[in-house]
Structure formats: structure tokens, C-alpha cells
């Protein structure tokens, strides 16, 4: 819907053609030259990345992440700057901050230590290089770090939770009510990205980093109940202590999965709201309903 409104003004780069938009095929795993393509382009939204891989079989996973998420990002930004692009909006990741927070102690834009996760580290290194590039060229940079994004055709853990929640299968998560997870609806993320791309209306976003979320953090049990409710179902949750779930998960080599389900990951998105006067355009319940209708 977004691209259909402005398709005549959009140039897309990547592997997959976008309907009604001018398209150039680019493989960000290889060297490329998009400088001429970006001539007369005012804003670049860079969302392409090597996504987080749970069970990476690469011999050098960090090198693979750096090739796409760091090196190619900087190459594209350098070409954009030479082409006269005014603002470069980079979709980073909350993994730059980390994987887990204490309850009600959310991440802020400040990074206290470099990420240990290869995906997060490659994104963080890209952020640093983009800021350096902005200082040397004058091209504005905006960095966005979203947490888990959910919307139509969502994949990963959220897709798994959705499948389980609507199946009616009993889940041992009734007692997982003390953790808090920040999420961002796809509609909200798109709206915020476009807000950051409007360099004329948001000059205050220049060279800023933003953490963004729906602003309505949920526990794992509450999230499952919301997903089930959106499908006209009632979640069947069993009261199993989180400590026991962690022991079982560790026994079967699923500690990382357990951490994502049982732990908290909250972000403080007040900077986006206060500096840019941005507000979410949909609630979680509304986005879940839209997912059902797609």
C-alpha cells in the first residue's frame, strides 16, 4: 500500500522486484555500483541485510554478516553521498543493544558495550561507519533499531507462537507473566521509517539513533492470549514454573529459545515520541486482526 501511493517516485534495489517501481537488481553479497541509479534520489531507505540465523553453518559467520550488513551498507551509503542523497535511513536492530533486559529497565539508544552476537556486531559496526561518513560528507543519517517486528507473513518465533496459540495445543506458559517484551507492528515501523525519511519535516532526526516499539509491552502469556483471541480461540496455558522450563530447555539444548520466551527485552522509545512527536498508528490488537485478514 505504501509503495503503491508513491511508486512513480521510488527506485528499488535488491533481489526481488517491487511491483510498479523502477527496479535494479543488486546482490549485496557482491561488489556493486549504484551511484548512477541514485542520481536525483533524495532519500535512501536501507533495509537489506543478512538476517539473524539461529543455527548458522557458515565457517565464518561474522565475516558473512560483515560482508552484507557492514561492508555493503557502507558502500551503498558512500555511493549515495557522492550521488547527492540528502538522508540515508538505516534499519539496524535492537540486537545492537543486546538480547535481554531486566523488567522495567529497557534499553536506550546508548550502547554500553559492543555486541557479542555476530549479527548485532555487524549492524553496530555499520552504524559507527555511517556516522563517520555523515561527518565527512554532510549526508544525513538516521538509524532505527526495532525489536521483533510482527505483521502479515511474519516468520521466526512469532510465526511459531501464532501457530501454537491458534492450535489449542496446551502450552506450559501460564506463569510467564512477569517478563516484558517490546514489539513493533509492521504498520507502525513503516510509518516511523517514513517519518524519518521526511528530511524537510524532521530536521531534528539528523544523525540520530532511535529505538522504536508499539509502546505496549506484553508478557509471553499475555501475548499468546492476544494472538489466540485474534483468531477467535482461547489459549490453553498450563502453570509450569519458569525455572523448570529453563532446566528442561537447557537439557535439550534449547537455552537460547527459552531465553527468548521467558526473559524480558524492553526498549525505551520515548526519544522517538518526544523528538519527532511520533505516535503508533495501530495497536497490537489491530495489527493482529489485520494479520488474520491477510
User: Hey, which residues are catalytic here?
Assistant: 119
Torsion of CA 18, 20, 24, 29, to 10 degrees: -10
Which of 146, 129, 127, 150 is CA-nearest to residue 223? 150
Asked whether 265 and 277 are in contact (CB, 8 A), the reply is no
| Strand, coil or helix: 91 | strand
CA separation for the pair 208, 33 (Å, rounded):
27
Q: Mutual orientation of helices 156-167 and 255-262 as an angle, nearest 10°?
A: 70
Place of cell 505496549: 216
**Beta carbons of 193 and 6 less than 8 angstroms apart:** no
Instruction: Kindly report the backbone phi and psi dihedral angles of residue 32, in degrees, each rounded to the nearest multiple of 5, phi listed first.
Output: -150, 165
Amino acid at each position: 500500500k505504501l509503495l503503491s501511493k508513491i511508486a512513480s517516485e521510488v527506485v528499488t534495489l535488491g533481489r526481488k522486484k517491487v511491483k510498479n517501481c523502477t527496479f535494479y537488481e543488486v546482490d549485496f553479497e557482491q561488489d556493486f555500483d549504484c551511484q548512477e541509479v541514485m542520481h536525483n534520489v533524495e532519500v535512501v531507505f536501507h533495509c537489506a541485510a543478512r538476517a539473524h540465523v539461529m543455527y548458522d553453518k557458515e565457517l565464518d559467520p561474522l565475516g558473512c554478516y560483515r560482508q552484507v550488513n557492514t561492508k555493503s551498507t557502507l558502500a551503498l551509503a558512500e555511493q549515495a553521498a557522492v550521488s547527492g542523497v540528502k538522508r540515508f535511513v538505516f534499519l539496524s536492530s535492537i540486537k545492537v543493544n543486546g538480547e535481554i533486559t531486566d523488567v522495567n529497565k529497557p534499553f536506550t539508544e546508548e550502547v554500553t558495550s559492543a555486541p557479542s552476537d555476530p549479527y548485532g556486531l555487524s549492524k553496530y559496526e555499520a552504524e559507527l561507519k555511517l556516522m563517520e561518513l555523515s561527518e565527512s560528507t554532510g549526508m544525513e543519517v538516521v538509524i532505527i533499531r526495532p525489536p521483533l517486528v510482527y505483521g502479515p507473513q511474519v516468520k521466526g518465533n512469532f510465526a511459531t507462537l501464532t501457530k501454537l496459540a491458534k492450535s489449542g495445543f496446551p502450552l506450559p506458559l501460564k506463569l510467564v507473566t512477569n517478563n516484558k517484551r517490546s514489539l513493533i507492528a509492521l504498520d507502525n515501523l513503516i510509518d516511523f521509517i517514513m517519518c524519518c525519511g521526511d528530511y524537510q519535516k524532521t530536521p531534528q532526526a539528523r544523525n540520530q539513533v532511535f529505538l522504536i516499539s508499539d509502546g505496549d509491552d506484553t508478557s509471553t502469556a499475555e501475548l499468546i492470549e492476544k494472538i489466540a483471541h485474534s483468531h477467535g480461540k482461547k489459549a490453553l496455558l498450563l502453570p509450569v514454573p519458569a525455572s523448570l522450563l529453563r532446566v528442561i530447555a537447557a537439557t535439550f539444548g534449547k537455552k537460547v529459545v527459552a531465553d527468548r520466551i521467558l526473559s524480558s527485552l524492553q526498549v525505551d522509545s520515548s526519544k522517538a515520541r518526544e523528538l519527532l512527536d511520533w505516535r503508533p498508528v495501530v495497536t497490537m490488537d489491530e495489527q493482529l486482526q489485520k494479520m488474520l485478514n491477510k
